Amino acid sequence: MNISQAADASGLSAKMIRHYEKIGLLQGIHRSASGYRLYSGEDLHRLRFIHQARRLGFSLEQIRELLSLWGDHRRSSREVKALAMQHLEDLDTRIQELQAMRQMISTLADTCHGDDRPDCPILDNLAASSTDKNTS
C-alpha cells in the first residue's frame, strides 16, 4: 500500500509516518521503481503499535524501547512492565503538576472580579512571578 493508504489504515498522517521513518522507528520501507514508499502488512502493524503507544503518552524514546522489546521474542515481560511502571510514575507526576496548576488558576480566577475595572489579580500574579524569576 502507498503512504496515503497506510495513513488511513493506521490512523496516522502521512507526515507523521515520514517522520517516524526519518527518526528510525520505521525502517526498511520498500520503494517502487518510481521511488514511492510501499508499506507491507507488517509495516502497518508497526505503525498501529506506534500510534497506540503515542496515544498512551509514551515518549518516542520509550516507543523505541517498546518496539525493540516487541521484536525480541526472548525478552522477559519484566522489562516491559518496568518500562510501563516508569511511565505510570511519570504520568502520576504530570497529573499532580496539572492539578496544582488547575488549583492555582482556579484560585486566581476566583479572586478576579471579571468586570470593567482594569485591575486583575490574575495578571498581577503572572507579572509578579515573572519579576521574581528575573531578580533571582
Bridge partners of 38? 30
Judge residue 63's burial from the number of C-beta atoms within 10 Å of its C-beta, 0-12 exposed, 13-18 middle, 19 or more buried: buried
> What is 1-75's CATH number, 1.10.1660.10, 3.20.20.140, 2.102.10.10, 1.20.1260.10?
1.10.1660.10
Quick one: pLDDT band at residue 132, thresholds 50, 70, 90? low
What pLDDT is recorded for position 5? 96
Closest residue by Cα to residue 1 from 53, 50, 42, 51: 42
Per domain, the residue ranges of the chain are 1-75, 80-136
Q: pLDDT tens digit string along 84-103? A: 999 999 999 999 999 999 99
pTM of the model: 0.80
